[in-house]
Amino acid sequence: MSNYETVIGMECHAELLTESKMFCACANEFGGAPNTRTCPVCLGLPGSLPVMNKLAVELVLRTALALNCQVSRDCLFARKNYFYPDIPKGYQISQYDDPIGHSGYLDITLEDGSSKRVHIRRVHLEEDTGKLIHAGGNESEVDYNRSGVPLMEIVTEFPPDLHSAEEARAYLEKLRTILVYLNVSDGKMEEGHLRAEPNLSIRPVGSDKFGVKTEIKNLNSFKSVFKGVQYEVERQSALLDEGGVIRQETLGWNDLRGETYHMRFKEEEQEYRYFPEPDLVPLHFEDADIEAARAALPELPDAKRERFVTQYGVRPYDAAVLTSSRPTADYYEAAATDGVDPKAIANYVTGELARLINASNQEISQIKITPAALRDLIVLRDSGKITNGVAKTVLEKMFETGQSAQEIVEAEGLAAVDDEGAIAAEVDKVIAANPDVVAKILAGNDKSMAFLTGQVMRATKGKARPDVVNRLLAERIK
Amino acid sequence: MELFELTAHELSEKIQSKEISAREVTQSVLDRVESVEPRVMSYVTVTRDQALAQADVVDAKIAAGETVSPAAGIPLALKDNLCTIGVETTCSSKILRGFHPPYDATVVEKLKSAGSVFVGKANLDEFAMGSSTENSALFPTHNPWNLDYVPGGSSGGSTASVAAGEAVWSLGSDTGGSIRQPAAYCGVVGLKPTYGRVSRYGLIAFASSLDQIGPITKDVRDAALLLGAISGHDPMDSTSIVRDVPDYTKALTGDVKGLRIGVPKEYFAQGVEGVIADAVRAAVDKLVSLGAIAEEVSLPHSEYALPTYYILAPAEASSNLARYDGVRFGHRTARATSHIDLFEKTREEGFGPEVKQRIMLGTYALSAGYYDAFYLKAQQVRTLIKQDFDKVFEKYDVILSPTAPTVAFPIGQKTGDPLAMKLSDVLTIPANMAGIPAISLPCGFADGLPIGLQIMAPAFGEEVLLRAAHAYEQATDWHTRRASL
């Protein structure tokens, strides 16, 4: 048991799903040959001026509301001044005082089922920088394609609510789910569209003073966030145990080695000389703007989860899985229509279907089985037309070919065998072939009955209805 | 009179009636440039071939019976902080040597489509920081009325070119008086429009919340014409205002009966030479004789405008000038060993002393621990200055004052005395602080050098401003005098 308490703050950046950049008409896209999506504005050429992308503001407002934030009625943009080759104007247009959203929270659910409220300090809009490419030797090149892409920053409140790698990962997962739900970000961490920078410190349990914090960059997956935090907690603990001193620094994360590495010390507060951006007019939100944005919010995961439990009677755990992504939830609801057991649909969507989707590396939105086709399969099974075992086989075929359950059952003769005479013949054969098992059953070993059932099912290729098989076996043996 | 001596509206009439061609006008101006430029040195770049080609296009249109704008075929000088496609744009700084913008400033685009003829890029104090054009990193410009004197600044090349007949009219930019003060020194009309009236897109920024592009002309009618040609909302400039552009020439009625003039006592105080104060008071009397009503008013916070300006303008400039880092355009040091070194040496080599001083002042004013005492306090004072104007404009239509406390001074006289130099803008800075329009027009001479009368009006009050200026001008003949070179 550790003697230290971990304290984690999270700063996340999400590139927004706008068509154009934040201050110019250049396309907001990923990749492309360097410097092909640039203009005088995002290159910071002399005389150029920024013009605000209204959609970017809307997306941040939407996020702020979804994260239960207060909205600043009047927001200023500010210049954050510093020199670096990837920042073309010598300042980044960001927000300082009065961010669009502040004082919000996000509820997360942990693995043990408990939930936790994580307070959000601010949600603001800023522009992304270009990218420095080290060309080898003493030379660097700069690609400004990403320069001016609208970026949303979400920062957790201080003192932080997060205290473990698991909590940090759960927060990030939940945040990503919401951003994708809101259609604000595609949430792609591996492409850097969602970036998480945890800063963390440890302190002796019971202490009321915070330790020196370090910040981890380059974490490009949930797993690396979890491992990075875990690694850093262990590194700091070991260092303190040895009587060492933690220095305030920025660390990088090496995913291959599973280690953090030193990037730079950060002991002196950076001097950014923030001041209001004179090239932009202040943003003003009327109450009506805010209420309209709130009304336009989609149903968020938590509300959807609760509704699934009450409306469909699914278990809370399944409801959480179903609502973990909006396409999955939408798929489920399209399948779980009247006349079918919604719990049965839930079992398939979270079970067999999820397994097939994962194994094939697809998204639910890409698969060949429509929600209606899944529903038909379940109806077919629940009406006894096919057995449960056959249904799973049919699902795999549907997944491969996109054919309907009915087509597959007919083409392959997979309908359940209702003919008692035919089943009875197989039952008699199995009894005759297994006298020792029958003897065990007669001696009171009921478990052996299942063996015989299995033998009959195998002989009928799974098509015999298990209830009929069981009844016939019981009648003959007892 | 030679063609280069005429006003734009006179020339436009002759061009449109086919009495003369745009090419003849352009040739006259280019010949004038050839003969006087070595002495006046208005231009950083002369775009002779482009000018003649543009004139020919206008002539062809007129020959084809097309209607053309009043700006068509009129030779114009652009202050060299306005971006022009393919034409070097230097801000008279070594750091921008070789910078050929890939785009035109919005005002340039507007004037191009109006058929304007671009004679060249006019000299300025480096990055528009200065009051005499002596801070140009390239060369100083000379006052056409007396070549040993400064033309004022920072738009000294733009005003000298018009006064010398090297352009019929020109564009300048005004952050703290950079159109009006040199207009006064050179005996021409200079108008700083309301902040937001004219797009700043493509104007290389000095202080974004104060900069405004405006016309420099030989008379008020030309100022009205050129203002109309460059005004209007621009989707590329968020600070430009959505508002119709009137025909400003319609305001030139000559009628000032009942016009209420405020005469701020603070603008005639210490530092304003007697001969200037007298000339301006005489101008007030002239307007009163035409039916206007004049009363003394007070703008008590204007005395803080200069120090306030020297916090806010450098603060914005320190950030606006951060992009000159040698990475993407302009000068790059040959001696860099790291990216920090690249920034430092490029900027050290590329910026002149005045620019460096202002960057340092501004950086200091924005630094943690000083921000509240300097930048924030200055913003508060700026609000007070603006409120003074709002109050006066409740009762008065326009405010009259001198443009500058003195006439032009000899080249070199104030370069060693930065405070004295900066005091030459003490009467023009308040209008920038308040964002209101202000014009300077000739109202007399002292020792052969022109005196400027400043008229200020409420925001978007360009029409009343022009009406008052025009009425005064029509009742006097100062604007008809030309420097002899």
pLDDT in tens, B379-435: 999 999 999 999 999 999 999 999 999 999 999 999 999 888 999 999 999 999 999
Average confidence (pLDDT) over B126-132: 98
Which segments of B376-475 does DSSP mark as H helices, in order?
Answer: 377-395, 418-423, 429-434, 462-474
- What rounded mean pLDDT belongs to chain B? 97
Average confidence (pLDDT) over B451-478: 98
| Predicted local confidence at residue B255, as pLDDT | 97
Q: Is the pLDDT of residue A442 over 90?
A: no
CA B466 to chain centre: 16
What's the whole-model pTM score?
0.91
Higher per-residue confidence, B132 vs A452: B132
Out of A43, A47, A280, closest to residue B238 by CB? A280
Per residue in A78-125, pLDDT (tens digit) is: 999 999 999 999 999 999 999 999 999 999 989 888 999 999 999 999
- What rounded mean pLDDT belongs to chain A? 92
Which of B:35-94 have CB within 8 Å of A?
81-83, 89, 91
Q: Which residues of A touch B96 (CB under 8 A)?
A: 46
Planar angle of CA A260, A261, A264, nearest 5 degrees:
125
Which long-range CB contacts under 8 A does B134-140 form with residues at least 24 apart?
Answer: B134/B411, B134/B412, B134/B415, B135/B92, B135/B352, B135/B354, B135/B355, B136/B92, B137/B92, B137/B93, B137/B94, B137/B352, B138/B44, B138/B90, B138/B92, B139/B41, B140/B41, B140/B411
SS3 B200: coil
Contacts across the A-B interface (CB distance below 8 Å):
108
Catalytic residue among B154, B155, B231, B424: B154
Q: Is the pLDDT of residue B330 over 60?
A: yes
CB B423 within 8 A of CB B405: yes
Contact flag A84-B236 (C-beta cutoff 8 Å)? no
Catalytic residue list contains B178: yes
CB A191 within 8 A of CB A30: yes
- Please provide the CATH number assigned to the domain covering A420-477: 1.10.10.410
| Predicted local confidence at residue A267, as pLDDT | 63
Average confidence (pLDDT) over B241-265: 98
SS3 B15: helix
The pLDDT confidence band at residue A1, using thresholds 50, 70 and 90, is very low
> How far is A456 from A453, CA to CA, in rounded Å?
5
Can you read off the two tokens belonging to residue B164?
A: 């010398």
- Reduced 3-state DSSP string for chain A: CCCEEEEEEEEEEEECCCCECCCCCCECCCCCCCCCCCCCCCCCCCCCCCCCCHHHHHHHHHHHHHCCCEECCEECCEEEECCCCCCCCCEEEECCCCCCEEEEEEEEECCCCCEEEEEEEEEEEEECCCEEEEEECCEEEEECCCCCCEEEEEEECCCCCECCHHHHHHHHHHHHHHHHHCCCCCCCCCCCCEEEEEEEEEEECCCCCCCCCEEEECECCHHHHHHHHHHHHHHHHHHHHCCCCCCCEEEEEECCCCEEEEEEECCCCCCCCCEECCCCCCEECCHHHHHHHHHCCCCCHHHHHHHHHHHHCCCHHHHHHHCCCHHHHHHHHHHCCCCCCHHHHHHHHHCHHHHHHHHHCCCHHHCCCCHHHHHHHHHHHHCCCCCHHHHHHHHHHHHHHCCCHHHHHHHHCCCCECCHHHHHHHHHHHHHHCHHHHHHHHCCCCCHHHHHHHHHHHHCCCCECHHHHHHHHHHHHC
Per residue in A353-368, pLDDT (tens digit) is: 999 999 999 999 899 9
| Predicted local confidence at residue A356, as pLDDT | 95
Contact flag B103-A269 (C-beta cutoff 8 Å)? no
Query: Domain B3-257+469-480, CATH 3.50.50.60 — does that match?
Result: no
Contact flag A275-B371 (C-beta cutoff 8 Å)? yes
Contact flag A49-B363 (C-beta cutoff 8 Å)? no
Task: Give the pairing type, strands A4-15 and A194-204.
Answer: antiparallel
> How far is A145 from A39, CA to CA, in rounded Å?
10
Closest-approach residue (CA) in chain A for B322: A90
The closest of A1, A9, A453 to A215, measured between CA atoms, is A9
CA–CA min distance B485, chain A (Å): 35
| Predicted local confidence at residue B359, as pLDDT | 98
Per residue in A261-294, pLDDT (tens digit) is: 999 887 667 789 999 999 999 999 999 999 999 9
| Predicted local confidence at residue A417, as pLDDT | 76
The pLDDT confidence band at residue A304, using thresholds 50, 70 and 90, is very high
CA–CA min distance B371, chain A (Å): 8
CB B134 within 8 A of CB B415: yes
Closest-approach residue (CA) in chain A for B207: A278
Average confidence (pLDDT) over A3-13: 95
Catalytic residue list contains B154: yes
Q: Is the dihedral of CA B47, B49, B55, B57 positive or negative?
A: negative
Residue with tokens 């250049």: A26
| Predicted local confidence at residue A335, as pLDDT | 95
Q: Which residues of A touch B343 (CB under 8 A)?
A: 83
The pLDDT confidence band at residue B63, using thresholds 50, 70 and 90, is very high
CA–CA min distance A276, chain B (Å): 10
Q: Does B101 touch chain A (CB under 8 A)?
A: yes
Residue with tokens 């420099």: B216
For residue A4, the cross-strand partners are A204
Q: Which residues of B touch A23 (CB under 8 A)?
A: none
Domain coordinates in residue numbering, chain A: 4-289, 299-412, 420-477
Per residue in B345-385, pLDDT (tens digit) is: 999 999 999 999 999 999 999 998 999 999 999 999 999 99
> How far is B356 from A209, CA to CA, in rounded Å?
44
The closest of A195, A201, A204 to A235, measured between CA atoms, is A201
CB A301 within 8 A of CB A324: yes
Listed range (A391-395, A435-439, B49-53) with the worst mean pLDDT: A435-439
| Predicted local confidence at residue A412, as pLDDT | 85
Per residue in A139-196, pLDDT (tens digit) is: 889 999 999 999 999 999 999 999 999 999 999 999 999 999 999 999 999 988 999 9
Give the single-character DSSP code of B344. Answer: H
Average confidence (pLDDT) over A457-474: 83
Out of A47, A89, A274, closest to residue B204 by CB? A47
